[in-house]
């Protein structure tokens, strides 16, 4: 039986900063306490090493859906069940609401006990608070990936409007200024 954990927080940074930081998966060990390492294998595939309650796991996760400044969703590949979604909503130009939902399959007595006692809920809430502290203390993201992923396939990263020299706004050439 799987368990689902939800948590939310408001971070005092613009939505772009909060979202961009979340796309930097390799920085997760800095604020996610159970995560030892995340390796970005390509735009839509990551490799995770986690240790929770003394139980160490490794698994790959596919980014299944990602839209800049809106959400990132993932699911594990293979035997380990782990999936989740983080959503971003602007509360003001300098404040962002972050909602996190994670579903996973506890294995073994330690993980099942942690789920029953809701220790995993507390850890996710603490980790989301650590993300809040991390991004607010920095005030800026450590990097960014602005591409989109739908159904596990990455779309090209659109050029930044500020970088455009042809008078086009966005990616539609019919929207010339």
pLDDT per residue, tens digit, the chain (177 aa), is 678 889 999 999 999 999 999 999 999 999 998 899 999 999 999 999 988 777 788 999 999 999 999 999 999 888 777 889 999 999 999 999 999 998 877 666 656 555 555 556 678 899 999 999 999 999 999 999 999 999 756 666 665 554 444 443 444 343 333
Which token pair is 148? Answer: 């989109």
Domain spans of the chain? 3-163
Which CATH number is 3-163 given?
3.30.530.20
From the CB of residue 8, how many other CB atoms can be counted at a distance below 10 Å?
A: 14
* Buried-exposed string 125-146: b where 16+ CB fall within 10 A, e elsewhere: bebbeebbebbeeeeebeebbe
Cβ 13 vs Cβ 139: under 8 Å: yes
What SS3 state is found at 157? coil
Cβ 132 vs Cβ 11: under 8 Å: yes
What SS3 state is found at 149? strand
* Integer Cα distance of 155 and 58 in angstroms: 27
């Amino acid at each position: 039986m799987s368990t689902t954990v939800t948590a939310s927080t408001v971070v005092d940074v613009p939505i772009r900063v909060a979202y961009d930081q979340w796309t930097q998966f390799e920085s997760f060990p800095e604020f996610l306490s159970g995560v030892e390492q995340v390796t970005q294998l390509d735009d839509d595939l990551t490799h995770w090493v986690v240790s929770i309650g003394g139980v160490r796991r490794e698994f790959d996760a596919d980014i299944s859906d990602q839209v800049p400044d809106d959400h990132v969703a993932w699911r594990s590949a293979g035997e380990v069940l782990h999936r989740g979604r983080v959503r971003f909503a602007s509360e003001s130009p300098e404040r962002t609401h972050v909602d996190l939902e994670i579903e996973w399959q506890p294995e073994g007595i330690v993980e099942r006990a942690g789920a029953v006692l809701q220790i995993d809920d507390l850890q996710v809430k603490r980790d989301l608070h650590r993300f809040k502290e991390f991004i607010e203390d920095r005030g800026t993201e450590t990097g960014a990936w602005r591409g989109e992923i739908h159904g596990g396939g990455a779309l090209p990263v659109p050029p930044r409007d500020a970088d455009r020299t042809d008078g086009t706004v966005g990616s539609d050439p019919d929207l010339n200024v």
